[in-house]
């Protein structure tokens, strides 16, 4: 192996920290630059006064099948602090709430017997087939119409696809849907203390091995300088042997003008994604009185102003986690995905909150504005990649054509969907690639 390398990682989210964990244990000098005030990226949380646990800015959970996050938690000695209750997840259909798990509860869905049989058979096929490559050759819209039938598709899946991808829903490939069904379990997990507590334990494990994490340190530029890669932060330039970036495609191209001029850069520029946002309410009493944790809401139009609901998911977090962790607050998320230039990114926090809050009486007619103790708005312009037909052919490799520069992002975890488990996987993959290159 080559001698000790100086390695910079841009972004102290899950992918960046997973990469750092492997690289620092291999004996290299690792520095992480994070633009935010805390580690965690899109998985980061916050804590209000009186809360003993942190709360995620964007709703998160793990699945029992998330092998990568479970393995990492075991390696840093915190696996015993992961908990996996089984909450209730549901659909809103024709004004009523129905359980949505792929289980016997599906028999209660308002579908004909033939439709239920087609749903069960196609769901079983997707759960057990490993062949996602053939599924990416067709759209989810066409595959589900053909195999699940119009009744199932129009009642269950089309409204969710429209809610998630707006007027682009017909472009999403079936491998994306396969991944969402394939990787899921009925039990959903979190960390005692919240995701932020896990992220800080991971950061502690990394720094204990010698890595340095620089918070409030947004990278301004990446460029080559001889055989090294120069990273500019707060007006100062730092030289490294290798640099791993975990940023969005758009930010990566902005940071590296050299990369933007390559065919690789053009490939990055063609990757499309949606933004994500959540309005989080701390309520004085429960909104979903049937104990549903996650309620999928149907979109009747790609236009949010014309749709039945202005957001696609309502998540009552404290129907999953004990509200005692949040000083008795009932925590409710109203979440949505929209393009980064959508109106929801332009409205003030008060305007967006008011728009979403105005819908809450639909879920509980007793709801009153006085129930709201406090609210927060979180928005991220890069949150959900948009995978079209044959998407695997469009994803750039982890190693860029710029010597010493690597890119590992949410856009490259495909066919899996974004999530912390697959962020760990992509982080460790890019770390292994750096280590392999150092040996040659």
Name the residue ranges covered by the structural domains of the chain. Answer: 6-54+193-271+388-438, 104-181, 273-385
CB 276 within 8 A of CB 380: yes
Per the CB < 8 A criterion, the answer to whether 61 and 189 are in contact is yes
- Mean pLDDT, range 157-166, rounded to an integer: 93
Is 70 exceeded by the pLDDT of residue 105?
no
The pLDDT of 174-193, averaged and rounded, is 93
Mean pLDDT (the chain) is 95
Fold (topology level) of 6-54+193-271+388-438: FAD/NAD(P)-binding domain (3.50.50)
Confirm if 275 and 58 have CB atoms less than 8 A apart: no
Task: Give residue 104's pLDDT band: very low, low, confident or very high (50, 70, 90).
Answer: low
Question: What per-residue confidence (pLDDT) applies to 1?
Answer: 42
- Confidence band (pLDDT; 50, 70, 90) for 418? confident
Q: What pTM did the predictor assign?
A: 0.94
Mean pLDDT of 244-270: 95
Report for 89-103, 119-133, 316-330: range of highest mean pLDDT:
316-330
Q: Kindly indicate whether the domain formed by 273-385 is annotated with CATH number 3.30.460.80.
A: no
Q: How far is CA 25 from CA 161, 215, 242, 358, 369, in A?
A: 42, 21, 16, 51, 52
User: Quick check: 356 pLDDT over 90?
Assistant: yes
Give the pLDDT mean for 57-67: 95
What is the arrangement of strands in the sheet containing 62-63, beginning at the earlier edge strand? 62-63, 188-191, 82-83
Cα dihedral angle (235, 241, 246, 251), rounded to 10 degrees?
A: 40
| Percentage of residues of the chain with pLDDT beyond 90 | 92
CA 231 to chain centre: 27
Give me the sheet containing 228-233, strands edge to edge. 219-225, 228-233, 236-240
40: left (phi over 0), alpha (psi -120 to 50) or beta: left
Quote the tokens at residue 313. Answer: 């998911």
Which has the closest alpha carbon to 88: 322, 315, 326, 333?
315
């Amino acid at each position: 192996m080559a001698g000790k390398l100086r390695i910079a990682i841009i972004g102290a989210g899950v992918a960046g920290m997973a990469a750092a964990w492997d690289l620092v244990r291999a004996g290299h000098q690792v520095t992480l630059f994070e633009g935010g005030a805390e580690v965690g990226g899109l998985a980061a949380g916050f804590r209000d006064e009186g809360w003993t646990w942190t709360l995620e800015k964007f709703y998160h959970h793990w699945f029992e099948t998330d092998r990568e996050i479970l393995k990492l938690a075991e390696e840093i000695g915190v696996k015993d602090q992961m908990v996996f209750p089984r909450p209730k997840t549901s659909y809103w259909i024709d004004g009523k709430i129905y359980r949505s798990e792929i289980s016997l509860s599906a028999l209660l869905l308002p579908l004909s017997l033939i439709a239920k049989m087609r749903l069960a058979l196609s769901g079983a096929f997707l759960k057990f087939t490993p062949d996602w490559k053939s599924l990416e050759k067709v759209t989810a819209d066409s595959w589900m119409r053909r195999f699940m039938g119009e009744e199932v598709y129009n009642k269950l899946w089309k409204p969710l696809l429209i809610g998630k991808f707006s007027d682009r829903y017909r472009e999403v490939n079936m491998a994306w849907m396969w991944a969402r069904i394939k990787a899921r379990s009925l039990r959903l997990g979190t960390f005692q203390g919240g995701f932020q507590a896990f992220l800080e334990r991971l950061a502690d494990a990394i720094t204990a091995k010698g890595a340095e994490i620089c918070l409030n340190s947004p990278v301004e530029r990446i460029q080559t300088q001889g055989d090294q890669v120069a990273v500019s932060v707060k007006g100062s330039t730092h030289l490294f042997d290798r640099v791993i970036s975990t940023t969005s495609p758009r930010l990566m191209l902005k940071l590296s003008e050299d990369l933007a001029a390559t065919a690789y850069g053009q490939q990055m520029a063609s990757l499309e994604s949606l933004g994500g946002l959540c309005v989080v309410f701390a309520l004085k009493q429960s909104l979903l009185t049937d104990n549903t944790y996650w309620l999928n809401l149907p979109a009747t139009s790609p236009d949010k102003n014309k749709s039945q609901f202005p957001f696609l998911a309502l998540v009552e977090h404290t129907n999953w986690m004990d509200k005692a962790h949040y000083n008795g607050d009932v925590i409710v998320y109203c979440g949505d995905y929209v393009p980064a230039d959508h109106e929801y990114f332009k409205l003030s926090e008060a305007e967006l909150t008011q728009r979403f809050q105005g819908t809450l009486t639909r879920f509980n007619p007793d709801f009153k504005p006085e129930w709201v103790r406090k609210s927060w708005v979180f928005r991220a312009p890069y949150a959900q990649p948009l995978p079209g037909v044959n998407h695997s052919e469009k994803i750039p490799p982890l190693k860029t054509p710029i010597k010493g520069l690597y890119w590992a992002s949410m856009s490259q975890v495909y066919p899996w969907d974004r999530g912390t488990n697959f962020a760990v996987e992509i982080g460790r993959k890019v770390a292994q690639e750096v280590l392999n290159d150092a040996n040659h």
